[in-house]
Chains A and B, each alone.
Chain A
Amino acid sequence: MSSVESDVFDIIAEKSAIERSKLSLEAKLKDLEIESLDVVEIVFAVEEKFDIHVPYNANDQELEFDTVGDVVNAVEKLVSEEHG
């Protein structure tokens, strides 16, 4: 597991109160009972951890983050864009 993946798993595990070992890239955020304010907090924690800006808007009617894997992919992309 890459370090980005590992950090994202840590953040999501904390927010979703699910055991970290039970998380997988395929897990749907919906199924983890992560509510809208939790998503916003996850985004903030990710921004702070990786020193990136995540252009997330809670109004976007197409959810960008469907699974844990989506979050990891987005973060990896933003980290490489911002920090090369």
Chain B
Amino acid sequence: MNRVVITGLGVFSAAGKSVAEFWENTREGRSVIGPLTIIPTDDLNVKIGAEIRDYDPKEHFQSKQLALLDRFSQLGLMASRQAIADADIDFEGEKGHRTACIIGSGVGGQQTLDEAYYRIYAEGRRGLHPFTIPKLMLSAACSQISMEHGITGPAYTIASACSSSTHAIGQAFHMIRSGMVDCAVTGGTEACIAKGTMKGWEAIRVMTLDTCRPFSKGRTGMVLGEGAAVLVLESLDHAKARGARIYGEMAGFGMSSDAMDITLPDAKSAARAIKGALVDAKLNPDDIDYVNAHGTGTAANDKTETHALRIALGDSAAESAAVSSSKSVFGHALGGAGALELVVTLCAIGDRVLPPTANFVEPDPECDLDYVPNQPREREIKAALSNSFAFGGLNAVLAVKPFNG
């Protein structure tokens, strides 16, 4: 089995349009949650989110290409361009065949879908633009990324709601580990802030009107965000052979399903995914210095996740690990969340700094671990976990550690 390392990072998020800007805001706990401006909010109860500002797609895409790109594909491409440039890698010929492109997304081209429905049902127009389907399909971002960069190996999109990009990265990891490919461009993207989608989310009654306060007493729910993150993964041999810069090592991947409720999480099942990642990575619970939590800020998740960490790590290791939720900074980016949060975890390892849980007000007796409230803290990280626990009980956990040779 090959060892797998991360050699390129790219981010296009509400918290930053580059890895440097994104990490700085996340590390400092500077929440970018605020009033939504990219859609009108007069008819919405929830008027806040984490949106990408000062972004004009025309500055980054030729009009012919742009005509084929829903916003979720645009964000995915912005992130993949950065990651691939960062890895300083190309995919000519055989190299392309030996590279996978696995991209996660929860709902794909929502803006295109929303506009298409509006045209048909509200405006009563006779037909839709011919590019409607190629834009909205869940796999569009993956196709566009593979097309732009010439990636000709195994390529597809994985959808598992809030765990999509964690599952995608885990799959890519498996493929390199088994030798099926040498390299993978992987991550996730979501851009679902459209009126219809917001109405759908409001109806589930888990959105806050305040802000996202994971693990805090009095938290009132989640905030939607948009964004994409892409990572370049390679086998260690492949990375060494070309003298690639290595951010860290992908150590393990754990998965499980709750098989219980379509929205409420289950601690025991989540714990199995956490444990699975540890076992796969051959790590002990007390090796874990940092957990980047799923931490959505809902009453249900944060309590359940705390319990799951205690079950999986044991009380002592759970209490000595630091746990923080980056959703407090850039909201819940759904299909993009896992990838964005893995980038945070890798930056934390590299900088030896724990990013905080922002907007933390007061400890909740049912959430009784160290959540690094509000302020970053220096800490050497031997190994870290990144959790994703999706609606419908689809759990995915990645374990990463510094590359020590």
Contact = CB atoms under 8 A, between A and B. Distances in A.
Majority-rule SS of B interface residues: loop
Contacts of B203: 40, 44
A59 B220 CA distance: 5
B205 A43 contact: yes
Contact of B263 (A37, A53, A56, A59): A37
B264 interface: yes
Nearest to B45: A53
Contact of A60 (B204, B220, B263, B264): B220
Nearest to A40: B205
B205 A56 contact: yes
Interface in A45-75: 53, 55-61
B270 interface: no
A59 B262 contact: no
Contacts of B204: 40, 58
Contacts of A21: none
Interface string B264-306: 1000000000000000000000000000000000111000000
B27 interface: no
Contact of A57 (B221, B263, B264, B300): B221
A61 to B, nearest CB: 6
Interface string A18-48: 0000000000000000001100100110000
Given A36-B264, A37-B262, A58 B206 contact: yes
Contacts of A37: 261-263
Contacts, number: 39
Contacts of A53: 45
Nearest to A47: B203
Interface in B189-245: 203-209, 218-221
A58 B45 contact: no
Interface residues of B, number: 19
Nearest to A60: B220
Nearest to A54: B205
Nearest to B207: A57
Interface string B41-80: 0000100000000000000000000000000000000000
A59 B45 contact: no
B262 A57 contact: no
A44 B203 CA distance: 8
A37 B298 CA distance: 15
Nearest to B205: A58
A17 B112 CA distance: 40
A38 to B, nearest CB: 12
A53 B218 CA distance: 23
Contacts of A61: 218, 299
Nearest to A55: B45
A59 to B, nearest CB: 4
A59 B298 contact: yes
Contacts of B300: 58-59
Contacts of A59: 206, 208, 219-221, 298-300
Contact of B220 (A40, A43, A44, A57): A57
B239 to A, nearest CB: 44
Nearest to B264: A36
Contacts of A40: 203-205
Contacts of A58: 204-206, 221, 298-300
A57 B219 CA distance: 11
A15 B262 CA distance: 17
Contacts of B220: 57, 59-60
A31 B208 CA distance: 28
Nearest to B262: A37
Nearest to B204: A40
A36 B300 CA distance: 11
Interface of B: 45, 203-209, 218-221, 261-264, 298-300
Interface of A: 36-37, 40, 43-44, 53, 55-61
8 contacts: A36-B263, A37-B263, A40-B204, A40-B205, A53-B45, A59-B206, A60-B299, A61-B218
Given A58-B204, A58-B206, A59-B220, 13 more contacts: A37-B263, A40-B203, A40-B205, A43-B205, A53-B45, A56-B205, A57-B205, A57-B206, A57-B209, A57-B220, A58-B205, A59-B219, A59-B298
List the 10 closest A-B pairs by CB distance, nearest first. Answer: A59-B299, A58-B205, A59-B221, A59-B220, A40-B205, A58-B206, A59-B298, A56-B205, A57-B220, A61-B299
